Structure 1
């Protein structure tokens, strides 16, 4: 294909993946995302807040209000809580369902994302490109993490991909002079679903993409195909019922928290110690896009030189660049904020790998320097990931992990394969092998290496000991100085997070209660006991590291003397 020309066969919809290839991709996703979801303990703090709130929905039967113990949790809409609650109810385990049941939703969201991107890649650039994009997303480090964590981001990615895929289809059909079928309705339904999952993020991404396409292309006629009038109504029909119910139930509290404090707060200031200057995502790119950073940057830079003659490249850049600029400018930054834009870069990677003319040799001088810097970053990240895989268990536990060594070897091979610096294999084969290497290595890390780091997983050990020492079947745990939400999920919704003095008072009032006192709360606990509560005995002790705060912890169980 000549430089800058459009493969009209692929662009007109002839690039369509067969049902067998889609099934193969779906099976690969299970292979990539499922290992570790049962072995990895609940993580703090966001995941545990989500799963505890979903657990309370099942316990209470109230699927409108969102609560974390007694506190309202209005930072995100109900969509993810509904999906997690549905998974729990379907499991038949009820509120006692283990954490992996909640994580199934993220696995499903990640799998749908891969299938949607593969479809879009095939539609835009042909079947080989679609498979490269799909396998590339399945092997991406950032998605490997989010697919195993019961939060919003993997599910949001699916909604974004359905919306952006439909938007790309509408735009390209207009450029090709043909009708676009049901794409407009898919776009608006996906927007409604995205709003229910994470508020205005999905609509914001699409709005930025539309604005950039209009500016770069100067063609506004295609906007009519969006059918904005009835489309907005469809999106509202999806999202508005719950928004109305929660407004009726909470008054203005939901809107103040979700929009005022959470969304606008992240735009205006660095929330929860997550502030960072512009350039944060640029510097993290080789890590979050591992192992495909090098071919992705090659595709993106080549697209910058050709997008004016190819609307497919223009759309991908319009998807990626404005969103990247916005999140770089925002004071609040977390690595996963860039995930909804990464599929656009994977599409450009797939295009470059299937277009023989899109090579580093065609880059301009400044682009070539950026490409070389990415190569350096990819090598550095690969070596660091391998070093962490080898050293994590010896450093934390003091024993050698052969699984960590195997993961490190796979990481090194995967980094070399994905870079394409010495391309001995065809692009599709190389991408599939790199994605498989990334999937196996991440599965080993999540399923065997990370769970072996026992000292950092305080909450599971606390919950296990609590069940062993509690004097009554319905005993309540009162924790002073250790306030992680994972403990509430594992030890029960009635768990009380407080200080040493209050723990002593509660222990005096409840003969079945068990107090867990952190070392820095012992003095206050002992002082309160000296005021009249004396029949207390030590029941056990847990030692480890609270990784959320980076502090070593000694936690002691106390109960009424028997």
Structure 2
């Protein structure tokens, strides 16, 4: 009896020690992720499109102080209904505005925090999936240093929240196989995804439930599982019911058809691409971790009968197929694939680390060490070429530092691999983290800002010289939600033909035009176009129409 009791106590002590170690690892990943995701978060302006829209809708909720129905029925500028996406992320941003004011840092903070939380959550998923600590550690390290995850997670968009709730769902799902009470979290996670991105939450939740049906169908007989689904979906059903009651069929048309289902069969807003679009996207931004994917595929084939292989195959394969057949292609649609890739690479790195340890102890050379060394030296040479290019340009010191850090990381990893040391894996993780810290410290992490004129000077011009709550027209070809956010005005694209033909003697139109278009205004004699203010590249023009009938106003 004593032997049995001592064995039980020893097992309990080991379990408690394991929990303490896991908590320490999760704390470490949390600190590292918070630093990476929040460092200089508000130094750059918001970009078009989603950042400007999310920040603007959240500001309208913040202005209502939650004492009106705006929090339930979100609005854009001047009361225009916003029925594109559910408002969970907009609620969180508006709460951040209450704490820190309306600025870039607060607009991006909720998404950045949720993205940071997803890193220790992925470690937890790795522990539940592999039942070992080492592949979970490597998977969390890869996920922490995965470029698209870091970049999109820092933006005021919905993708960081989706990743957090998706990984939480997988963690609860895996844990519920041993304790049915954890299945309560499955429904809550699916509900949170639905309140963030609508039908996407249903798709990702269905993939998770399909894995349960394949791997552990007995969970569907648990009352905890169905109670969790009911409680998790009740807020979703309540919000959608309120929208239908308030807006009627136009909400169904705009939210489900135009913004969701139509994206399957047609390229919405000209966002088209080939069926290989997302494969190329993964290859383009997968950085150094993609070199371990072939090894991971071999492990999937070897362990096909195990739960972890079933899970990653179903997760990646199903979602990749869904987004590939969709006609609308956007880079951030691939975001739910990246945690699965990180877990697969974590398994690959473990398969390298443990045989390396065994081979070194036996005095045997590490297999394929020259292949890995050659790969890292080749990648280092490519990065050095970019570094030399930026040095010769002489105008991009940030990019020189970033390329230098990455090149040094790859070179040291190659030397370490050539010496048959498994430490090259740690070199890659640590060097990638330092490279990304330099990247987010620069102005290049939101590289889309360089593709358009700086938004803040134009917004200041509009705000200073146009009346509040009055729409401003522009002859620029496209709308810019970030410009609407900073100017706090509707900026409606139109053309000179419509402006010339508009005949409303009671109204004077305010037009934002590129300075190159001012010459066009002077050639129009049927209307008085008067420049009232300008900065480099842009001008505010006052258009005074002549009495006559007016054509239909252009759609914003």
Same fold (TM over 0.5): yes
Aligned to 2:205: 206
CA distance in 2, matches of 1:237, 1:429: 45
Establish whether residue 75 from structure 1 lines up as the match of residue 84 from structure 2.
Answer: yes
CA distance in 2, matches of 1:392, 1:155: 38
Q: Using the TM superposition, give the Cα deviation of residue 140 of structure 1 relative to its aligned residue in structure 2, in angstroms.
A: 0.6
- Tell me which of 169, 175, 181 is aligned to 2:175: 169
- Tell me which of 297, 302, 306 is aligned to 2:303: 306
In 2 relative to 1, CA 421–202 (structure 1 residues): closer, same or farther, beyond 3 Å?
farther
CA distance in 1, matches of 2:228, 2:491: 45
Q: Using the TM superposition, give the Cα deviation of residue 191 of structure 1 relative to its aligned residue in structure 2, in angstroms.
A: 0.8
Is the partner of 1:292 in helix, strand or coil?
helix
Gaps of 5+ in 1: 1-7, 174-179, 361-371, 544-554
Report the number of matched residues: 506
Q: Using the TM superposition, give the Cα deviation of residue 526 of structure 1 relative to its aligned residue in structure 2, in angstroms.
A: 3.7
Aligned to 2:95: 86
Within 5 Å, give how 1:31-180 maps onto structure 2.
31-60=35-64, 61=68, 62-69=70-77, 71-91=80-100, 93=101, 97-125=102-130, 126-171=132-177, 173=178, 180=179
Aligned to 1:4: none
- Tell me which of 243, 246, 256 is aligned to 2:243: 246
Is the partner of 1:50 in helix, strand or coil?
helix
Aligned to 2:548: none
* Higher deviation after alignment, 499-508 or 48-57: 499-508
CA distance in 2, matches of 1:149, 1:385: 29
- Tell me which of 524, 527, 535 is aligned to 1:541: 535
Within 5 Å, give how 1:385-464 maps onto structure 2.
387=386, 391=390, 400-414=395-409, 424-426=421-423, 429-446=426-443, 450=447, 456-464=452-460
Aligned to 1:547: none
CA distance in 2, matches of 1:48, 1:32: 23
Establish whether residue 480 from structure 1 lines up as the match of residue 485 from structure 2.
Answer: no
CA distance in 1, matches of 2:257, 2:139: 37
Within 5 Å, give how 1:332-371 maps onto structure 2.
332-356=328-352
CA contact (8 A) 1:184 1:226 kept: no
In 2 relative to 1, CA 252–473 (structure 1 residues): closer, same or farther, beyond 3 Å?
closer
Give the structure with higher Rg (CA). 2
Q: Using the TM superposition, give the Cα deviation of residue 212 of structure 1 relative to its aligned residue in structure 2, in angstroms.
A: 5.0
In 2 relative to 1, CA 481–457 (structure 1 residues): closer, same or farther, beyond 3 Å?
closer
Gaps of 5+ in 2: 1-10, 357-370, 545-556
In 2 relative to 1, CA 307–376 (structure 1 residues): closer, same or farther, beyond 3 Å?
same
CA distance in 2, matches of 1:495, 1:427: 52
- Whose relative contact order is higher, 1 or 2, with alpha carbons under 8 Å and at least 6 apart? 1
Q: What is the CA deviation profile of residues 339-363 of structure 1, one whole-angstrom value per residue up to 9, with x for unaligned ones?
A: 2132122122222322359989xxx
Is the partner of 1:556 in helix, strand or coil?
strand
CA contact (8 A) 1:15 1:123 kept: no
Q: What is the CA deviation profile of residues 425-481 of structure 1, one whole-angstrom value per residue up to 9, with x for unaligned ones?
A: 436623531441342242144468959x767343122124445x6387999754332
Q: What is the CA deviation profile of residues 365-421 of structure 1, one whole-angstrom value per residue up to 9, with x for unaligned ones?
A: xxxxxxx99x98996799479839965995xxxx61212210111233445678996
Is the partner of 2:299 in helix, strand or coil?
helix
Aligned to 2:191: 192
Is the partner of 2:154 in helix, strand or coil?
coil
CA distance in 2, matches of 1:81, 1:64: 11
Is the partner of 2:71 in helix, strand or coil?
coil
* Higher deviation after alignment, 489-498 or 244-253: 489-498
* Higher deviation after alignment, 292-301 or 264-273: 292-301
Is the partner of 1:182 in helix, strand or coil?
helix
TM-score by length of 2: 0.78
Is the partner of 1:67 in helix, strand or coil?
coil
Establish whether residue 264 from structure 1 lines up as the match of residue 261 from structure 2.
Answer: yes
CA contact (8 A) 1:320 1:344 kept: yes
Is the partner of 2:536 in helix, strand or coil?
strand
RMSD of aligned residue pairs (Cα, Å): 4.0
Within 5 Å, give how 1:7-26 maps onto structure 2.
16=19, 17-26=21-30
